[in-house]
C-alpha cells in the first residue's frame, strides 16, 4: 500500500493499517474468512455498490449535469 495517499472507501489509510495491524489483524482475517465460507461466496459482495446521481446544479436537466456517487 502506498503511503501519503487518500484513504479508500473504508477511510483507512495505509499508515493506519501498518501502525495498527497487530491489533486489527485477527478481526480483518476473520471478516475475510467469513466472506470465504459463506454458502454463496461473499466476495462478489465486495464489488457491489448503490449508485446515485447527484445534481451538480439546481436546474440539472442532462446527464452531464449529474455526478455519480456510490
Alpha-carbon gap, residue 14 to 2, rounded angstroms: 7
Domain containing residue 19? 14-69
pTM, entire model: 0.50
Alpha-carbon torsion, ordered 55, 60, 64, 67, to 10 deg: 0
Number of structural domains found in the chain:
1
Task: Find cell 486489527 and name the residue.
Answer: 24
Q: Kindly state whether residue 65 falls inside one of the protein's structural domains.
A: yes
Q: According to the model, what pLDDT value does residue 70 have?
A: 81
Phi, psi of 60 (to 5 degrees): -60, 130
Cβ–Cβ under 8 Å, residues 53 and 66: yes
Q: According to the model, what pLDDT value does residue 6 have?
A: 73
Give 12-54 pLDDT, tens digit per residue: 888 998 999 999 999 999 988 887 787 666 677 677 788 899 9
Q: Kindly state whether residue 6 falls inside one of the protein's structural domains.
A: no
Q: Kindly state whether residue 7 falls inside one of the protein's structural domains.
A: no
Q: Kindly state whether residue 61 falls inside one of the protein's structural domains.
A: yes
Amino acid at each position: 500500500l502506498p503511503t501519503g495517499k487518500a484513504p479508500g472507501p473504508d477511510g483507512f489509510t495505509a499508515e493506519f493499517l501498518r501502525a495498527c495491524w497487530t491489533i486489527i489483524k485477527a478481526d480483518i482475517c476473520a471478516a475475510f474468512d467469513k466472506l470465504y465460507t459463506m454458502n454463496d461466496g461473499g466476495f462478489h459482495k465486495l464489488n457491489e455498490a448503490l449508485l446515485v446521481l447527484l445534481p451538480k446544479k439546481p436546474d440539472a436537466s442532462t446527464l452531464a449535469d449529474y455526478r455519480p456517487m456510490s
